[in-house]
Amino acid sequence: MTGNKNNIYFDNAATSWPKPETVYHSAEIHMRSAFGNPGRSGHTRTLAADRLIYRVREKTADFFNIADPARIAFTLNATDALNMAIKGLLEKGDHVLYTAMEHNAVLRPLTRLKTEGIIETTMIPCSDEGDPDLVFLENAYRPSTRLLIINHASNVVGTIVPIKRMIESAHQRGVPALVDTAQSAGCIKIDIQADDIDLLAFTGHKSLLGPTGTGGLYVRPGLDLKPLREGGTGSQSELDLQPENMPERLEAGTLNSTGLAGLLAGIDYIEDRGLDNIHDQEKKIRAYLYERLLDIKGITVFGPPETDRCTCVVSFNLGDTDCGSLGHILENRYGIFCRTGLHCAPYAHRTIGTFPAGTVRISPGIFTKTDDIDYFIKALKEIATLTGI
């Protein structure tokens, strides 16, 4: 099979591809039509943009079961939303709890605030399958604990974390919870009200199937964040300070309306196909992938074998090969695209025992077929033979 180049994209956890046709179309139509700058001026083209933004906000709110769409601020991505939540909420002397599975989008802002002497932090350790130690959590609260941060699903091994239980534990101490849904939104059902989420960060370009440059932050009523960015909103222009009402409070500067038009089509697509159907299909693909990987001699597969508690992500290493070189050969010989290394999650890799070497991560998407998995497994078997494993 060597040389039989394909174009198999297994890096949907980084950004999804392909997108549904309607996403391309919707973003293009938006850019070609004379939409004005949302919120700025009052002419009808601006109003058309305002209506679009309104629809995306309402659609997003419905998707996460958020009662008041105005509590969602659109952001550049999950990183932006997480920074806004962390830096907008925390004050000197606050203590923060976070899990070992967090992404650098959480770890780095926390480390900065900690290094500057503003906050203190405690990391909740996780099992080698990525499950947070809930007993540790119970004992980790301090009177100064101000925030619990949870990565809903690991971008390294796919493990879905029991957010509801963790949030309940935080709420018993009056501590709000920030949930990073970069890997879970669009894969599994998220219900702000049922899960009692205080702050939710999402990104538009992964499983929500939208373009890059889209995302958002939900902020529970009563929680007022200090804005990370200040600037024009088109409203209350006479005010010297940022308006206090949501979403303007957190939305300085022109929104990415073209991207949001695409995101709207992405969420529409998910709703048309049904989130449960998508999740079921992804579970089947992950189960199949996991099982086929175990066939390969010398392989170590990470993450829970049970697909019920995972998103569609699997990490592995092949013998003592370098994961980067393995990724390179997968692309160059076989046309298979995957992500290797530490996946911006150094403590997740320490947790599963793959730091600093990293792993190869396979993240199929909603358009992946079992044929693609078969082709990939064949390639991997060939590589295993070639490298003498």
Partner 1 sequence: MGQNCYITFSSIHQAIRAEKLLEKKRYAYKMVPVPRSISSSCGSALQCTCQDITALGNFLGDKNIEIEGLYRVKEAKLRALSVEKLS
Q: How would DSSP label each residue in 30-73?
A: HHHTT---TTSS-SHHHHHHHHHHHHHHHHHHHHHT-S-GGGEE
Does residue 241 bind partner 1 (CB under 8 A)?
no
Binders of partner 1 in range 316-355 (CB under 8 A): none
Considering beta carbons, is residue 53 or 137 the nearer one to partner 1? 53
Quick one: which of 29, 47, 287, 357 contacts partner 1 (CB under 8 A)?
A: 47
Site residue total, partner 1 (CB under 8 A):
23
Nearest approach in angstroms of CB 216 to partner 1 is 13
In the complex, minimum distance from the CB of residue 74 to partner 1, in angstroms, rounded to a whole number: 11
Task: Let me know how long the chain is.
Answer: 389
> Does residue 229 contact residue 253 with C-beta atoms inside 8 Å?
yes
Helix spans in the chain (H): 21-32, 44-64, 78-89, 104-115, 134-140, 163-172, 192-195, 257-273, 275-294, 323-334, 346-352, 370-386
Choose the one of partner 1, ligand PLP, none that binds residue 232, judging by a C-beta under 5 to 8 angstroms depending on kind: none
CB nearer to partner 1: give 50 or 195: 50
Cα(230)–Cα(342) distance, rounded to whole angstroms?
A: 34
When binding is defined by CB under 8 A, the residue of 18, 45, 54, 298 that contacts partner 1 is 54
Residue 126, CA atoms < 13 Å, CB-side half-sphere: 30
**Interface with partner 1, residue 240, by CB under 8 A:** no
Q: By the criterion CB under 6 A, which residues form the site for ligand PLP?
A: 77-79, 103, 105, 151, 155, 180, 182-183, 203, 344
Out of ligand PLP, partner 1, none, what residue 248 binds, judged by CB under 5 to 8 A for its kind, is partner 1
| Residue 8 CA neighbour count, 13 Å, CB half | 27
For residue 150, the cross-strand partners are 179
Interaction residues for partner 1, span 6-45 (CB under 8 A):
38-43
By beta-carbon proximity to partner 1, the closer residue of 162 and 232 is 232
Nearer to partner 1, 4 or 245 (CB): 245
Q: Tell me which of partner 1, ligand PLP, none is bound by residue 43, counting a contact when its beta carbon lies within the kind-specific cut-off of 5 to 8 angstroms.
A: partner 1
d(CA 234, CA 76): 19
**57 is a site residue for partner 1 (CB under 8 A):** yes
Query: What single DSSP character describes residue 240?
Result: S
22's tokens: 């309607």
Tell me if residue 344 is catalytic: yes
The backbone region for 196, taken as left when phi is positive above 0, alpha when psi lies in -120 to 50, beta otherwise, is left
User: Applying CB under 8 A, which of residues 235, 277, 325, 370 lies at the interface with partner 1?
Assistant: 235
> Which partner, partner 1, ligand PLP, none, binds residue 182 by CB below 5 to 8 Å per kind?
ligand PLP
Tell me if 282 sits within 8 A of 311, measured CB to CB.
Answer: yes
Residue 167 interaction partner, one of partner 1, ligand PLP, none, beta carbon < 5-8 Å per kind: none
When the beta carbons of 235 and 332 are compared against partner 1, the nearer one is 235
> Do residues 36 and 254 make contact, with C-beta atoms less than 8 angstroms apart?
no
Q: Which is nearer to ligand PLP, 102 or 372 (CB)?
A: 102
Q: Which helix (H) or strand (E) covers residue 177, if one does?
A: strand 177-180
Q: Is 236 in the site for partner 1 (CB under 8 A)?
A: yes
- Report what 40 binds from partner 1, ligand PLP, none; CB cut-off 5-8 Å by kind: partner 1
Note whether 72 and 57 are within 8 A (CB).
yes
CB-wise, 49 or 147, nearer to ligand PLP? 147
Alpha-carbon separation of residue 289 from 127, 248, 280, 286, 370 (angstroms): 22, 44, 14, 5, 8
Q: Which residues bind partner 1 (CB under 8 A)?
A: 38-43, 46-47, 50-51, 53-54, 57, 69-70, 234-236, 238, 243, 245, 247-248
Would you name the residues annotated as active-site residues? Answer: 344
